Chains A and B, each alone.
Chain A
Amino acid sequence: KAGVTQTPRYLIKTRGQQVTLSCSPISGHRSVSWYQQTPGQGLQFLFEYFSETQRNKGNFPGRFSGRQFSNSRSEMNVSTLELGDSALYLCASSFLGGAEGGELFFGEGSRLTVL
């Protein structure tokens, strides 16, 4: 079956702009998580959605937001972009069945460059 799809793969923005990233999870997966990856901070958890509800949120400013739709697709938005927001943004999905045990399936990421 198809994997996790993230769009766009690459994008360039300027400071002060906003950006929306999209993630389509594996069919049947109800949980979508977002991570930010940078050389300096590594992989940091942004937020997790399950059945359209945010279940967890990492330590990021309010400029970072997300949502999940009824078909489990998710979007994240970053407003008022800063240079430090340049990163690879990774989306991961999981079924979240009790026996599944926590395996996340990652997309290839959206690489954001802020100039």
Chain B
Amino acid sequence: AQSVAQPEDQVNVAEGNPLTVKCTYSVSGNPYLFWYVQYPNRGLQFLLKYITGDNLVKGSYGFEAEFNKSQTSFHLKKPSALVSDSALYFCAVSGQTDSWGKLQFGAGTQVVVTP
């Protein structure tokens, strides 16, 4: 069975500073990894995904993530955080190539960016 861990409940960062949100995973076989963001009272928005290929994945709104197979990690990063990046971030994994609709989500990390 697959699982995802987001070790930090909350990350605080000042605007303009680098932002990192951590994620580790456990899955049988090749992992399919995703990051989603949720704003208050809204659904989830897709940021980026890793399926195969380059370990550095670039996504929406200036976010990127690095897949590290040896450390089973998929940390989300942004070089310069904005106040508008304040939201709830979810890492997710799928180990099934034939059922993209079923994802295992982490508990989420609240990001707070202060001016």
**Chain A residues close to B by CB (< 8 Å):** 4, 31-33, 35, 42-43, 45, 48, 50, 55-56, 58, 90, 92, 94, 96, 100-109, 111
Contact = CB atoms under 8 A, between A and B. Distances in A.
A106 B51 contact: no
Contacts of A4: 43
A28 B42 CA distance: 23
A90 B90 CA distance: 14
13 contacts: A4-B43, A33-B101, A35-B105, A43-B108, A48-B102, A56-B99, A92-B101, A96-B101, A101-B32, A101-B51, A102-B103, A104-B100, A107-B43
A52 to B, nearest CB: 14
B44 A106 contact: yes
B100 A100 contact: yes
Contacts of A106: 36, 43-45
A53 B106 CA distance: 27
A48 B42 contact: no
Q: Interface size for chain B: under 10, 10 to 19, 20 to 34, or 35 or more residues?
A: 20 to 34
A50 B108 CA distance: 27
B105 A101 contact: no
Contacts of A101: 32, 49, 51, 100
Contacts of B102: 33, 45, 48, 56, 58
B27 to A, nearest CB: 13
Nearest 3 A/B pairs, CB to CB: A106-B43, A33-B101, A48-B101
A108 B42 contact: yes
B25 interface: no
Given A58-B102, A104-B46, A108-B42, 13 more contacts: A42-B105, A42-B108, A43-B90, A48-B99, A50-B101, A56-B99, A56-B101, A92-B44, A101-B100, A102-B51, A103-B46, A106-B36, A109-B42
B94 interface: yes
Contacts of A42: 105-108
A107 B36 CA distance: 13
